Amino acid sequence: MSDRFRLTLAQLNPTLGDIAGNAAKAREAWNTAKAERADMLALPEMFLSGYQTQDLVWRPAFQADLREALEALAQDCAEGPTIGIGVPLLEGGALFNCWAVLSGGKVTASIRKHHLPNSSVFDEKRLFASGEIFGPYRVGPIRIGSPICEDAWLDDVAEAQAESGAEMLLVPNGSPYARARYDTRMTHMVARVVETGLPLVYLNLVGGQDDQVFDGASFVLNPGGKLALQLPAHEEAIATLDFTQTAEGWRAQLGTRAHLPDAWEQDYRAMVVGLRDYLRKSGFTKVVLGLSGGIDSALVAVLAADAIGPQNVHCVMLPSEYTSPHSLEDASDLAQRIGCKLDEISIEAPRAAIEAALAPLFTGLEPDVTEENIQSRLRGTLLMALSNKTGALLLTTGNKSELAVGYATIYGDMNGGYNPIKDLYKTRVFETCRWRNANYRDWMAGPDGEVIPPRIIDKPPSAELRADQRDDDSLPPYPELDAILEGLMEHDLSVADLVARGHDRATVKRVEHLIFISEWKRHQAAPGPRLTMRALWLDRRYPLVNRWRDTR
């Protein structure tokens, strides 16, 4: 028997529901593997369907299409490398998250995921049945165990496979990006290697799907936890790697070891990839957004330019009597720096018309936030009209701090189909702008250099909905606000915990109250790329109506 095993890893970007397109990507990768004389091609978890399917996977017609596509793929790729590919399959009346092994024109094995994640963005216990632990399967000279994603985060599946004769662990994954997630994955995989004494292949999806961005960053470990191969983060890659039989067992030969960037760059790229793929997979080629001259819309405009090119970004300034001259100047400066189209539409005439229409009903009532919200909703209406007319997707620009406390106008500045900075607190918005001005990468479609005018970064934030307005008139200063929000929302700290950290109790209670009463707004907010483990959607599920408050 041969003492060499050649494996091709395909870290690719499927499109959810595009079964034919995903199968075609698998065939193309198989052709590459065949040309490389590989023994096996490996594709990630749920690749054929795309991930995450949510309730789409329950549709019988969807299940039937997947089965037909899988069998056709097996037949088309009968002469050449074995294929391992992730796919949901209905078997014996139950639906499983499977990794199918295709060889000789047939599905020769169907490994069923045993541990079903049911926290954070995952709801797999609702969707799938748990499979029994599956033993190793043979491909050429080697016996392979394949714990599927979560199965490798616990020790029992890999341990059982090693005890039943596995000589290598090949772990297909659909693991979405979150800040510092790579280190967590590596820690768990090193533990499996140490426990079993086997080499391990960690193969992850890449690309955006709704709010989740799969970051790839696949790797191969030899016993002892030594890194043999590292694929890049946030981009497609195909790599072929040899394993050789030694006196101590199978070992991976050294392959490419891509550099993984720091958290600031990975966050930025996740936002770019998330936006780019949301547009591409939804059929949009252009975007439109309101450019206020403030920092949030500036960052969104640059992210859009980096995702799809500045020629596809349409910015619109919508001034009122409260818009300062420097905001107009800053918006124009930004548009020129990134090279996107900028138009201006005054909202004064439509605002006067709406206020005149409402005047008989508002008689005797003092002006308040109502009049401010009219301005925001007018802007939202005009931008949605442009989106409808031109077919460009409207981007909304609220940061996580604003969305957390409801400092955003529903049906106004919250209008839009996607929000690239939804999971960035305001303090990180400032630092991200500074990072982008100082850094340029070849995957950015926008221009190099200082693309965000320094004055936009340095000036005090303001919604400019009334005279001399500043955000800190209504909210605590952002460094303080974000520290409180991170405690309450990311770590579930109590009010007493935050007071013990030096925060004013009344301020903490006010922020807590704002978070709870704004839940209804967030339920209607546009999706955006998940950067943390507590993003504002599936990671944090709270009731809209809730009377409880922390009194400790």
| Residues forming the active site | 45, 113, 149
Q: How far apart are CA 93 and CA 111, in angstroms?
A: 16
- 437, 456 Cβ separation under 8 angstroms: no
Q: Which of 417, 446, 427 is nearest to 528 (CA)?
A: 417
Query: Please, how many CA atoms are within 13 Å of residue 396, restricted to the half-sphere of its CB?
Result: 32
Q: How far apart are CA 10 and CA 25, in angstroms?
A: 10
Query: Please, how many CA atoms are within 13 Å of residue 376, restricted to the half-sphere of its CB?
Result: 22
- 549, 513 Cβ separation under 8 angstroms: yes
DSSP H helical ranges for 197-294 = 263-282
For residue 237, count CB atoms less than 10 angstroms from its CB and return exposed for 0-12, middle for 13-18, buried for 19 or more: middle
- 269, 432 Cβ separation under 8 angstroms: no
Residues 6+ apart with CB under 8 A from 464: 292, 320, 322, 323, 324, 327
Tokens standing for residue 287: 């975007």
Q: How far apart are CA 50 and CA 17, in angstroms?
A: 6
Q: How far apart are CA 97 and CA 173, in angstroms?
A: 11
- Helix axis angle for 478-485 and 505-517, nearest 10°, is 70
The radius of gyration of the chain from alpha carbons, rounded to an integer in Å, stands at 26
Tokens 């050294």 -> residue:
254
Q: How far apart are CA 445 and CA 62, in angstroms?
A: 36
- 181, 159 Cβ separation under 8 angstroms: no
- 58, 52 Cβ separation under 8 angstroms: no
- 19, 48 Cβ separation under 8 angstroms: yes
Q: How far apart are CA 334 and CA 332, in angstroms?
A: 5
